[in-house]
Structure 1
Amino acid sequence: MLDESHKIPQATTKRLPLYYRFLQNFANAGQKRISSQELSEAMKIDSATIRRDFSHLGALGKKGYGYDVQELLAFFRKTLDQDEATNVALIGVGSLGSAFLKYNFHRNHNTKIILAFDTNSPHEGKKISGIDTYHPDLIEEKIKQYGVEVVILTVPSRSAQEVTDRLAQTDIKGILNFTPVRISVPEHIRVQTIDLSVELQTLIYQIKHD
């Protein structure tokens, strides 16, 4: 875990899973050590940014040697709690939600979708892509029963805040919001919003103005 007494910049925290993924690739290729320049070339991130990120984390290499791949991998595994799976629930099994269930993150990450909710599912539940799926009437009950910490929200925009208000009454710690609505939550819940249309428009703008 990161030392909470030392505030890590948000931009750095977003890159942590990427560092872990690329270090796994180098380790799988049998590489023993790596320089920030090699990571830079592989990840397309400026080497100065990488060195600055690592200095925030305290993961410093040796001058003239670079970084020990296995040591860095162990560091990021601990930092990202890779050995502890986080139970995730999905709310809204439409086209996007179905894709999440089919992929499911625990194959490559420390997250695992174990529960889903959809208005077309019966109260007694059914399996969708091997995941227990229930009617949204049971959100509060089942989230507690399954020990869910994080929710992926892929419901229609009109339902986003209503569902969020119900989630606020549970013990979840975070919401990954795929709706375009800026949902309001109490302080104990962290929200990360991914608006696909905004991301696409940003990409198009960057392409045209590059």
Structure 2
Amino acid sequence: MANTKIPHATAKRLPIYYRYLHFLSDAGKQRVSSTELADAVKVDSATIRRDFSYFGALGKRGYGYDVENLLAFFRKTLKQDKLTNVALIGVGNLGHALLNYNFHQSNNVRISAAFDINEDITGTIQSGVPVYHMNDMKEQLTVQQIEIVILTVPAPVAQEVTNELVEVGVKGILNFTPLRITVPNTVRVQNVDLTNELQTLIYFLDKFGSHNENDA
């Protein structure tokens, strides 16, 4: 598996599988078939079997998949067997919403620090998270050894902030800004453009109606 390149579409589906396996485990279900998984997560069973095949023999023909074993495998694969601390850069309206979101539900991610320039909130605790001034960002990220951040700053300063994040060794950025930031190939960026997603949804509704389209 170490030398196997996992397709991007497959990687995006792994958290979906993991979340549903949590539901099954909580319900006391011991095994599940690819057909049952397909009905639940709206991904065809052939795609599920192909996705799982990248990781070796996870199930048995005629038996399906052992829920607890599969859950434990994906927990380790997705690094959910240990707590991951992330930082929030920008505590505006969206930033506040993310602070209030329960990341601990079905995963092991915690926002442990937030940064902003608004002196009304810097030096305070917001939703259980300390908010530091942006001037302290590089020092705190280094001290707290945080390598993953959520970026929700205004677009005009997004690249400047990104450059500072790269300087202190940040490895992953979940970018909520509309700007496509530039980073070296040592840094992974995941773009989340809510406006673009909404416009895409409107387009598909207009062209194709309400038929569900899942990523291939």
Which TM class, normalised by the smaller chain length? Answer: over 0.9
3-state SS in 2 of match to 1:61: coil
Out of 185, 188, 191, the position equivalent to 1:187 is 185
> What letter matches 2:164 in structure 1?
R
3-state SS in 2 of match to 1:75: helix
Shift in Å, 1:124: 7.4
Aligned to 2:123: 125
Aligned to 1:67: 65
Shift in Å, 1:125: 2.2
Aligned to 1:31: 29
Provide closer, same or farther for how the CA distance between residues 31 and 104 of structure 1 changes in structure 2, counting only shifts above 3 A: closer
Out of 78, 92, 99, the position equivalent to 1:94 is 92
Listed as ranges, the gaps of 5+ residues in structure 2 are 209-216
Aligned to 1:49: 47
- In 1, the alpha carbon distance for the partners of 2:120 and 2:154 equals 19
**Counterpart contact for 2:99–2:127, Cα < 8 Å:** yes
TM-score, normalized by length of structure 1?
0.94
- In 2, the alpha carbon distance for the partners of 1:187 and 1:78 equals 25
> What letter matches 1:179 in structure 2?
T
**Counterpart contact for 1:33–1:69, Cα < 8 Å:** yes
Q: Which digits, 9 at most, give the CA deviation of each residue in 1:97-122, with x for residues without a partner?
A: 00111114134312110000011137
3-state SS in 2 of match to 1:99: helix
- In 2, the alpha carbon distance for the partners of 1:112 and 1:204 equals 33
Aligned to 1:171: 169
Aligned to 1:15: 13
> What letter matches 1:6 in structure 2?
T
What is the total number of aligned residue pairs between the two structures? Answer: 208
Q: Which digits, 9 at most, give the CA deviation of each residue in 1:47-67, with x for residues without a partner?
A: 111011011121431111111
**Counterpart contact for 2:117–2:134, Cα < 8 Å:** yes
For residues 68-83 of structure 1, the aligned pairs below 5 Å read 68-83=66-81
**Counterpart contact for 2:33–2:64, Cα < 8 Å:** yes
Moved more, 143-152 or 53-62: 53-62
> What letter matches 2:169 in structure 1?
D
1:150 aligns with 2:143: no
- In 2, the alpha carbon distance for the partners of 1:59 and 1:173 equals 31
- In 2, the alpha carbon distance for the partners of 1:59 and 1:24 equals 20
> What letter matches 2:147 in structure 1?
E
Shift in Å, 1:187: 1.8
Measured on the aligned residues, the alpha-carbon RMSD in Å equals: 1.5
Aligned to 1:200: 198
